[in-house]
Structure 1
Amino acid sequence: MKRLKTALAAAACVALLADAGATTVRVHYDAGKGSIAILGDKAPMSWSKGVTATRLEGTNIWTYSWLDELGDIAIKPALGDKVSVGGVYKLAAGSTVDIYPFFGAPFGKLKIVPDFESPQLQNKRSLRIYLPASYEENMAKRYPVLYMHDGQNLFDARTAAYGVEWRVDETVNQLVAMGQMDEVIVVGIDNTPERISEYTPCCDPKYGGGKLDRYDAFIIETVKPYIDKTLRTLPGKEHTAIMGSSLGGIASVYIAQRHPGVFSKAGGVSSSFWWNKRQLVAKPPHVPVKFYLDAGTRNDALEDTLLMRDAMLAQGYRENEDLMFFKAEGASHNEASWATRLDKPLTWFFPWGGTRQQ
């Protein structure tokens, strides 16, 4: 009876605040026998002492509301003496915001799925999946997904083609901990001995190619459904991105152009836009996708990428709105160079506080 009275009193308080015009944070977290407090930059909250949130009866949702007249507020939830990892959460006056924090170590984990079969290409490869730091801690949370090619080169120097990795996991861990990007699942799709053919449209006079449509179908029809079925993803296009380098760069651009209903973000890092006499540069379609393009200044086909950027601008893309270009001074065509600027597409695609669970 006492618990019921407490819940009813809390609900009545929330209703009164709503009538008066209130801002509300809803913290989704299983605190066990503990409780969630809200730290903030305006009274009655402060950064040194939190205000205890109210747990909705029978749920792991903790709520706290304040009058709109306080204006916009920055907050962070706390669990005992632990403050949530990452940046602050900014709430506009009058809004109701759901957040899914975590309080443990900011290190994601790598999961490898070996011998993953491609019926489209009639071969097998591994999937190397980075799971965010909060994945096992906050079971209420779902995540955006970034699909990347050349999976062997992304996370481990021991499997990388030239002994140097992209440091994707380390970079994501750091950016999340610093509050510069939201947590994401990264799916690294290994390449095969047919890499050139699988990553390219038909057909370059020198290198041939031409299996990209089948590789495209492999991702859309086999990989993505598997990931969405087995992991806690946000499967909609607004939370789905694809990115790669070199031939993987043009594969990413091509696939996103063909499937703007699946991907809302695509990154072409040091992309091989020279392929088949600049076939992809001729007249790129204007689709509702955010594209990130870059190239280094040392033997990295910068001229071809600049031509692609200019062609996209001519088709109506707007720089820094749905097209970002970065010129990497002194950078070459290799994993070490790509690792140093990986933060740029990651923070543009998945800025801190940009993910909505619904």
Structure 2
Amino acid sequence: MPKRSGNGDSVIRVHYDAGWGRRITLRGSKPPLAWSTGLEATWTQGHVWTYVWPKSSGVLEFKPLLDDRAWSVGGNYHLRAGSTVDVYPFFGPPVGTLHKVHDFHSPQLDNRRTLVISLPPSYEENPLKRYPVLYMHDGQNAFEDATSFTGVSWGADRTSHSLVAQGRMDEVIIVGVYNTGNARVFEYTPGPPNGRMGGADLYGRFLIETVKPWVDGNYRTLPGREDTALMGSSLGGLVSFYLGRRRPDVFSKVACLSSSFMWNGSELIREVATSPERVPVKFYIDAGTRRDPLTPTQHMKEALESRGYVQGKDLSYYEHKGGQHHESSWAERVHRPLSYLFPWESSGGRATE
């Protein structure tokens, strides 16, 4: 995100290793920039291309190009008067990659599972960039039809890459955390452990104490709470909401699709409605209108609004007409939470040390 420039000038810093003999140019909405022809930025140490002009230029819309021929992928960028904006572009195809890690051990739950990590399109092309991270429950359903429980995945990676190309969301790393079959209900439900239920706190410790440090240590992440999110559906939506409320020091945004808010007599809804505390977390909640927990989701929306959450600001509520409790419905609308949690220009990747 843009930050205030110390000397009052407006500054663009494009972080990109263009390679020997190549250059970064800028085109934009105000002179001396134009959309028809680019002006070359100045290369500085660390492969930072800088362009400066007085803050009297006002608000500027601009885009970097490679050799003044290849436009950067995604939307236009914006520069406020007197601010500095850091841009981490890429110019290749908007296609990412999947990494799988098998037999990942949880000391908290004493079991093993697979992690599947969706890396964004620029990850290999622009090693100067770091990324927000979205942790998804039921990870086998997140990306691949072949591993999905129903044979249909959310396609969250493909949707996110498409949204990036359209300039509707920032690039993110998505970590799909597989469930463990018979232990799923235990891991995704709050409350004191009781047989097959109530292990959400242990599962949360697994994510926070084991998975997140491993991801942050092995990938170029932005590890702060403002760049860390949770998303899930059904019981995965329930545990997302539960962990988001209890650990706002780790997670700042949460997406809950078709969530089982009726769990344990709608305990979480009552908790939100009666709690004096307003947790500083952005929530996306939704449900379909066919055989889905629409009424409990409506009640959760009302509870959040009673605590001061505002639709379009720190709350996004959506009813999917005809939507059902199925991966195909979640795939149809996954673009909504992705673009809400990580809108274009909401997180600037920092240069590596």
TM band (smaller chain): over 0.9
Cα separation, 1, equivalents of 2:307 and 2:170 = 31
Higher relative contact order (CA 8 A, sep 6+): 2
Which of 103, 106, 117 is the aligned partner of 1:129?
A: 117
Q: Within 5 A, what are the aligned runs for 1:67-82?
A: 67-80=54-67, 81-82=69-70
**Closer, same or farther in 2 for the Cα pair 1:208/1:305, shift >3 Å?**
farther
Which of 254, 257, 262 is the aligned partner of 2:242?
A: 254
Q: Percent identity?
A: 51
Task: Report the RMSD for the aligned CA atoms in angstroms.
Answer: 1.7
CA positional deviation for 1:225: 0.5
CA positional deviation for 1:346: 0.9
Which of 109, 115, 118 is the aligned partner of 2:103?
A: 115
Which of 184, 191, 200 is the aligned partner of 1:195?
A: 184
Partner of 2:16: 29
Give the match's secondary structure for 1:283. helix
CA positional deviation for 1:105: 0.8
Q: Write out per-residue CA displacement over residues 208-248 of structure 1, whole angstroms, 9 at most, x where no aligned residue.
A: 51111111110010000100111100000000000100000
Partner of 1:330: 322
Cα separation, 2, equivalents of 1:110 and 1:46 = 38
Q: TM-score, normalised by structure 2?
A: 0.93
Structure 1: runs of 5+ lacking an equivalent: 1-16
Partner of 1:12: none
CA positional deviation for 1:203: 6.8
Partner of 1:13: none
Task: Please tell me whether the aligned partners of residues 193 and 199 of structure 2 are also in contact (alpha carbons under 8 angstroms).
Answer: no
1:356 aligns with 2:344: no
Q: Which moved more, 1:64-73 or 1:170-179?
A: 64-73
Output the amino acid matched with 1:267.
A
CA positional deviation for 1:356: 2.7
Give the match's secondary structure for 2:265. helix
Cα separation, 2, equivalents of 1:38 and 1:95 = 17
Partner of 2:307: 315
**Closer, same or farther in 2 for the Cα pair 1:221/1:348, shift >3 Å?**
same
Q: Write out per-residue CA displacement over residues 71-126 of structure 1, whole angstroms, 9 at most, x where no aligned residue.
A: 21111111111110000001111111111101111101100011100011111000
Cα separation, 1, equivalents of 2:153 and 2:6 = 51
Give the match's secondary structure for 1:181. coil
Partner of 2:280: 288
Aligned length: 339
CA positional deviation for 1:204: 11
Cα separation, 2, equivalents of 1:218 and 1:257 = 17
Q: TM-score, normalised by structure 1?
A: 0.92
Partner of 2:291: 299
Give the match's secondary structure for 1:39. strand
Q: Within 5 A, what are the aligned runs for 1:25-64?
A: 25-33=12-20, 34-56=22-44, 58-64=45-51
Task: Please tell me whether the aligned partners of residues 204 and 276 of structure 1 are also in contact (alpha carbons under 8 angstroms).
Answer: no
Q: Within 5 A, what are the aligned runs for 1:223-262?
A: 223-262=211-250
Task: Please tell me whether the aligned partners of residues 202 and 208 of structure 1 are also in contact (alpha carbons under 8 angstroms).
Answer: no
Output the amino acid matched with 1:176.
V
Task: Please tell me whether the aligned partners of residues 150 and 248 of structure 1 are also in contact (alpha carbons under 8 angstroms).
Answer: yes
CA positional deviation for 1:340: 1.0
CA positional deviation for 1:18: 8.4
Output the amino acid matched with 1:213.
D
